[in-house]
Structure 1
Amino acid sequence: MTTQTTPSESPKSPGTPETSDTPAAARAGLVGLPASLGRALATGGGVLTIVSTFLSWTWTTDFPGDLTVYGYPGGLQVLVLIGGVLTTLFGLASYGVRGVRALAPGSADAAVKMAALGTFGAAWYTVIAISVELGGLVNLDPGGVVVAIATLVALIGALALPFTRPEPDPVDPDDTGWELLRHNTRQRWNTFRAAFAADTPAPARPLPSWAEILVIVAVMAVGLTVFSYGVGTAYDELFIGFLITAGFGFAAVSKAGLVARVSAITAKHRNITMIGAFVAAAAFPFTQTSDQYATIGVYILIFATVALGLNIVVGLAGLLDLGYVAFLGVGAYTAALVSGSPSSPLHVHWPFWASALLGAVVAMVFGVIIGAPTLRLRGDYLAIVTLGFGEIFRITVLNMDGTSGPDVTNGSNGISSIPNLNILGFDFGAQHQILGTTIGRFANYLLLMLIITLVVVVVFRRSSDSRIGRAWVAIREDETAALAMGINGFRVKLIAFALGACLAGLSGSVQGHVTYTVTPEQYQFAYAVPPNSAFLLAAVVLGGMGTISGPLVGASLLYLIPAKLQFLGDYQLFAFGVTLILLMRFRPEGLIPNRRRQLEFHEESETPAVLSKAGA
C-alpha cells in the first residue's frame, strides 16, 4: 500500500520541491530515516566536525602537519574544517534559513550529500593514515575520535535526504539470470546517481553590475587560493586530502547551483573575467616563498597553452590529431637554433621576439605541409596519419646528428645550454625584486608565459566567434551537411590545422629557454613527462572541448596530479589512470563543458532548462 508523506515526516526542501501527494517511497532517501531527522543529523554533524578540528587528533608530532595543537587547526584539519563548514552551510540552506538559502539556488539536498561525503572521506583518510603510520588506533586523541563519529553521522543524515527515484525499467520475462543481474545492477546505479543529482536552478535574481564584478573578483581570489594551496602542499598526505576536499567541494558547489550562476555572470562580463584571471595568475608567484613551486606553475602554463591550441583542432574543428606535440617541438627547435646556444650549428643569436615569431611561422608552415595531403582523410585514418607525423618528426631530429644525416639538431644530445632570455635589459635568469618580493628564474618565465597564454586565449576567442569558427563547428558536427551548405571543408580544416600548429610553435619557443635543452625524446606520443600528445589530448577532453577555460583546467590537473603522486612509485600511473576513469565516468562532457556538449550527455535533464532559456 502506498503511503503519503506528511510535513512532519518529510519537510519540503527549497532545493527539492515536492507535492503533498508525492509517494513516500518515491521521496525516501538512501537511508531509511525521516528527512527531518536526516537534515538535523547532517547539519549537526557538520557543526560537530567544525568543533573537532580545534581539538587534538593525535598525541605525537610524528604525523606530518602537527595535529596535536588545541584551538588551532593545522594540516589536514584545515581541509576537514572547510568540508565541515560547507556541510553546515548547505544543511542550513536546505532548511531555508534566510540569508543562507541564497548559497544553494539549485539543490541544497544534493549539495549537502556531496559536502558530507567529501568531509567524511578527508576525515577518515586522516584517521586511517594516523593509525597506519603510527601503529594503531591507540595513537588517536579525542579529537580524532570525535571527527570520525561526527563525519559519519553527517554522512548518514545526508544520505537520508529525499530525492526523486527514477522510474524502474520494465523487466523482460524472458531474461536469463545474467540479464536480470545486469538489469538490477543498472537500476540500483540509476537510483544511486539520482540521489546525488541536482534540480534545475531557480531563475537568478539580477544583480547590479558592480556586485557581479565583485563576484568575479571573489571567484578569482578563491581560485588563486585553492591553486596555490594545492601546488604548495608540503607532504603527500596533505595533497591526497586536498584532492578529496577540492573534488567533492567543487561537486557540492556545482550541485548547489553556484557554478551555473557564476558561469552566467562570467559569460556576461567576459573581458573583465579574462583580465581578472590574468591578474590572479600573475599574482601566483607573489604567493610563493621560493621558486620551487613557480617551476610547476610555468610548466603548467606551457602545457595549458599548447592544449588550448590543440583545442582549436580537436574541440572546434573536430580533427583528431595524435601528433600535435611535434609542432611544439618544431617551435622549440627553431627557437633553440637561433638562440645563441653554443651547440647550435647556426651560431646566431636573435632577439626573443624574432625567434618566437620564427618558431610560430615555421610550425605553421609544417602544419600546412602536413595538413595539405592528409586532411582529406577523416576520423581514425586522420588520427593514424597525424600519429605517424609525430613519430617522423622525432626520428628526423634524432637522425640529424651529422652521421645519419646533416648536422642540424645534434641527434639524441639535442641543443643544450640555451641561454636565458634578455628582453629590454630584463634578464629572465636572474632574481629580481618586484613589489618587495624576490622573483626567481621560473617566476620570470611564468610571467612571460602568462603573456603568451593571453595571446593564445585572445586568438582562440576571436577565432571561435568568427565566421571561420562557426564553419569549424559545422564541420565538427556534420561534415557532409556543412559541405552541402557551401563550406569549403578542406580549406577550413587546413586553417584550423595551421593555426593550432602556429600556437604550439609559439609556446615551444618559450619552452626551449625554460628547459635549457631540447631533445627528441621530449616530443614522443607518450613521454613520461607532459606535455606529450597523449596528455594534451586528455587535457582537452577532460577539461571540456571547445571552451577556453576547460583545457586550461584540464592541463593544470593532468600536470599537477602526476607531479604530486610520485610517492606512489610503480603505482603512480595506476592511480592516475583510475582517476581519469572516474572523471570520465562521472563527468564525460568534461569539467567545464560548453552547452552543446553538455546536452549530448545529459539531454533528458538539461533540455527543458535550455529550451526555457532559449524561449525567454
Structure 2
Amino acid sequence: MSGSGVTTARRRLIERARGRVPATTARAAALLGAVLSLASTFLAWSYGSAFPGNLTIYGYPGGAQVYVLVLALVAIVLLLLEVSPLRRVLAPGGAGGAVRVLASGVFLVTAFTVLAIGVELGGLINVEWGGWAALLAAAVFVVAGRLLPDDRPAVWSYRLPDWVEFLIIALVLGLALAAFVEALAIPEWEIFLCFLVALGGALTAAWRLGLVSWISEVGTRHRGVTVTAAFLVAAAFPFTQGSDNHWLNVMVNVGIFATTAIGLNIVVGLAGLLDLGYVAFLGVGAYVGALLSGAAASTIGWNPPFAVTVVIGAVITAIVGVLIGTPTLRVRGDYLAIVTLGFGEIFRITVNNLDGSTGPQVTNGPNGIPGIPDLKFLGIDFGQSHTVFGMNLGYFANYFFLELVLMAFVILVFSRMNNSRLGRAWLAIREDEVAAQAAGINTFRLKLLAFALGATLAGMAGTIQAHAISSITPDSYQFLNSAFLVAAVVLGGMGTVTGALLGSVVLLLLPEKFRFFQDNKLLIFGVTLVLVMRFRPEGVIANKRRKAEFHEEEISEELGREARAEGAR
C-alpha cells in the first residue's frame, strides 16, 4: 500500500472512532489527560540529578517539565473554552485541532525526556515512577485528542482600533524576541530540543485557532509599522546580550548569510535561475574588502574609506556577475545549474592560484588574507566595545548594527523589485520562459539583470564579512556554502524575504546549538531537507503563488466544499 493509501486508511479509522465516541466524552477524556499531564510535572521523573533540569525534585517543575506544564495548561484553557460562551469569539472554528496539536507536543516532550533519561543515565531504571505516570498521562491525552471532533476553518475577521493593533504587533514581536533569547540561553541540547517541540506545538495550535492568520492580516494591514517595529526589535537584540560577544558574533554571521540569501532570492525566487555557485559573489566582495582594508597581508596599498570600499565591491561584483552571466545564461534548467556550479569552483581555484607562484601575487593563494583590521567608520572603532543607554555592549554589536542597516537596504531593493514591472517580468520568466519571450519580454537581458543585481547585493555583504571574520581564505567559499544558501531560500520559502531570513537563521543557528551532533551535521541537514520538502514543498513561509502551485488539489477541494455548502443553504 502506498504512503497516501496508508494515510487515507488511518484517517478513515480515526473518523470512524470519532463517530462512535460522543464529543462530550472525548472532551472529558482529553481534559482528564491534560490535567494529569499538568499534575505529573510536579512529580519527580528521574532518580539521577545529572540529567539536565534536575528532575528529581517533587513539587517544583524543571527542565522539560516546564514545557509540558505550559502546553497542558493551554490545552485545559482551550477545552474549557469549548463549553463557554467565549467560544464563538476566541475559537470560532472550534478548538479540537489546536488541542490535538498540544497533546502531541506534550507526548513528544514527555516521551523524549523519559527515553533520554534512560539513555544518558544508564538505563530506564533511572526513570522514577513520576516519569512513567507522566508518560501514561500524555498517552491518554494524545489518544483522547485524536477523538475530538474536527474543527472548521477558523477565520478571525475582527478589526480593532489602530492603536490596539499597533500594540498587538509590538507585543507579538516582543514575545518573538523573548523566545529567541530564551532559546539561545538554553545550554543543554536536550532541553533546547524540547523547547523547539513546545514552541512548534504552540505556534501550530495558534494557527489552527486562526490566531496566526489574523496576526498576519494585522501586520499586512499596517505593513510600515510592522517592518519598523521588526527592525527596532532586531536592534534591541544586542542589549539582551550585554558584553557577551558569542551570540553577537554568531548573529553577525547569520546576518551576512541572510543578506546574501535575500540577494540569491532575486535570482532563484523571482527569476527562477538555479545558481549553485552564488557564494563566489560573496567571496569576490570579501576579497575586495580585504584587499582594500589596509591589512598587512594585502597586496594593494590603498585603504579608502569603508563607504568607498562597499561601492567598489558592489561594482566589481556586478561586473563579474555580468561577465559570468553573459555566456552562462544562454542555457537553461539543469545546464544552468551545472555551469554556475563550475563558476563557483573556478572562483575558488583562481584565488588559490593568485599566490605569486602559479599566478600573479594578488590573493596570497591558500594562505588568504589574515589580520584584517576592524572597521573605523563614521568615527566609530568597530573593534571597541561601547556603552549605549548605560549598557556596555560587546564590540560585535557594532558589526551587528552595520549588518542590520545593510539588510534593511537589501530588503528594500528586493521588495521594490518584487512589486515592480521588472519583478513581474522575472516571475513570468520563472513560470514559463517561452511564453514570456512570446509576450515580448527580453528574457536574456532581464535574466542578466537579475544575475548582476543578486551579485551586487552579495558583494556588499562580502565587504562587511571580511572585517567581521578578520581573515578570509579560498576554502571559505566552497560549493557546500552555495548549497546551504540555496537550501535557506528553498526551505524558508522562495520569493519571500521572511522565508530567506528564517532559512538562514535555522541553518546557521541549529548547528551551533546542536554541537553534540557536529559529526553528523550533514546527515541531520539532509534528513531535515527531505522532511520539509515532503511535508512543506513550498517552503515554511511561502507566498500565495507558490502555495497555490503546490496545493492546487487541496484548494480545488476546499472551493468545491464551499460551493456545495452554499448550494445546500
- The TM-score normalised by the length of structure 1 is 0.84
| 1:438 counterpart SS class | strand
After superposition, where does 1:398-547 map in structure 2 within 5 Å? 398-526=352-480, 532-547=481-496
- State the match for 1:183 in structure 2: none
Deviations 1:154-194 (A, max 9, x none): 1011111234xxxxxxxxxxxxxxxxxxxxxxxxxxxxxxx
- State the match for 1:36 in structure 2: 24
Deviations 1:211-245 (A, max 9, x none): 22222112211211222222222112112212322
- Distance change >3 Å, CA 68–CA 401, structure 1 → 2: same
Is residue 340 from structure 1 mapped to residue 294 from structure 2 by the alignment? yes
Out of 312, 316, 319, the residue aligned to residue 273 of structure 2 is 319
AA at the equivalent of 1:56: A
Is contact 1:360–1:502 with CA below 8 Å preserved after alignment?
Answer: yes
Is residue 79 from structure 1 mapped to residue 79 from structure 2 by the alignment? no
| 2:194 counterpart SS class | helix
Deviations 1:279-336 (A, max 9, x none): 1111112222522222221111111111111111111111111111100001100011
AA at the equivalent of 2:134: V
Range with bigger deviation, 508-517 or 136-145: 136-145
- Distance change >3 Å, CA 578–CA 99, structure 1 → 2: same
Q: Any stretches of 5+ residues in structure 2 without a counterpart?
A: 1-11, 563-569
Distance 1:396 1:587 in 2: 39
AA at the equivalent of 2:200: G
| 1:234 counterpart SS class | coil
Q: Any stretches of 5+ residues in structure 1 without a counterpart?
A: 1-23, 164-197, 527-531
Distance 2:366 2:204 in 1: 46
- Distance change >3 Å, CA 535–CA 60, structure 1 → 2: same
Is residue 551 from structure 1 mapped to residue 512 from structure 2 by the alignment? no
AA at the equivalent of 2:177: L
Distance 1:609 1:444 in 2: 50
Residue 54 of structure 1: CA displacement?
3.7
Distance 1:435 1:367 in 2: 43
- State the match for 1:62 in structure 2: 50
Range with bigger deviation, 392-401 or 259-268: 259-268
Range with bigger deviation, 38-47 or 325-334: 38-47
Is contact 2:105–2:197 with CA below 8 Å preserved after alignment?
Answer: yes
Superposition CA RMSD, Å: 2.4
- State the match for 2:141 in structure 1: 154
Residue 521 of structure 1: CA displacement?
0.8
Residue 43 of structure 1: CA displacement?
2.8
| 1:589 counterpart SS class | coil
Is contact 1:44–1:88 with CA below 8 Å preserved after alignment?
Answer: no
| 1:66 counterpart SS class | coil
Is contact 1:116–1:158 with CA below 8 Å preserved after alignment?
Answer: yes
AA at the equivalent of 1:66: N
| 2:479 counterpart SS class | coil
Residue 545 of structure 1: CA displacement?
0.7
Is contact 2:156–2:210 with CA below 8 Å preserved after alignment?
Answer: no
Distance 2:159 2:558 in 1: 18
Residue 137 of structure 1: CA displacement?
3.9
After superposition, where does 1:177-192 map in structure 2 within 5 Å? none
Distance 2:286 2:532 in 1: 32
Distance 2:168 2:233 in 1: 14
Distance 2:548 2:422 in 1: 23
Deviations 1:243-302 (A, max 9, x none): 322333332222222222222121111111111111111111222252222222111111
Out of 247, 252, 259, the residue aligned to residue 298 of structure 1 is 252
Distance 1:313 1:597 in 2: 16
- Distance change >3 Å, CA 329–CA 104, structure 1 → 2: farther
- State the match for 1:194 in structure 2: none
Range with bigger deviation, 245-254 or 214-223: 245-254
Residue 203 of structure 1: CA displacement?
5.3
- State the match for 1:603 in structure 2: 552
Is contact 1:231–1:296 with CA below 8 Å preserved after alignment?
Answer: no
Is contact 2:317–2:455 with CA below 8 Å preserved after alignment?
Answer: yes
Out of 181, 205, 208, the residue aligned to residue 252 of structure 1 is 205
Residue 31 of structure 1: CA displacement?
10
Distance 1:126 1:26 in 2: 28
Deviations 1:325-382 (A, max 9, x none): 1000011000110011100010222222111221112111111111122222211111
Percent sequence identity is 50
Deviations 1:14-66 (A, max 9, x none): xxxxxxxxxx9894457974432222222332233333334433344311223
AA at the equivalent of 2:502: V
Distance 1:107 1:389 in 2: 54
Out of 59, 76, 90, the residue aligned to residue 88 of structure 1 is 76
Distance 2:530 2:19 in 1: 28
- Distance change >3 Å, CA 26–CA 296, structure 1 → 2: closer
Residue 114 of structure 1: CA displacement?
1.5
- Distance change >3 Å, CA 314–CA 103, structure 1 → 2: farther
AA at the equivalent of 2:46: T
- State the match for 2:97 in structure 1: 110
Residue 97 of structure 1: CA displacement?
2.9
- State the match for 1:215 in structure 2: 168
- Distance change >3 Å, CA 103–CA 138, structure 1 → 2: farther
Residue 480 of structure 1: CA displacement?
1.6
Is residue 126 from structure 1 mapped to residue 79 from structure 2 by the alignment? no
After superposition, where does 1:281-292 map in structure 2 within 5 Å? 281-288=234-241, 290-292=244-246
| 1:321 counterpart SS class | coil
Give the structure with the higher percent helix. 2
AA at the equivalent of 1:87: A
Residue 147 of structure 1: CA displacement?
2.5
Distance 1:107 1:594 in 2: 27
- The TM-score normalised by the length of structure 2 is 0.91
- Distance change >3 Å, CA 498–CA 61, structure 1 → 2: same
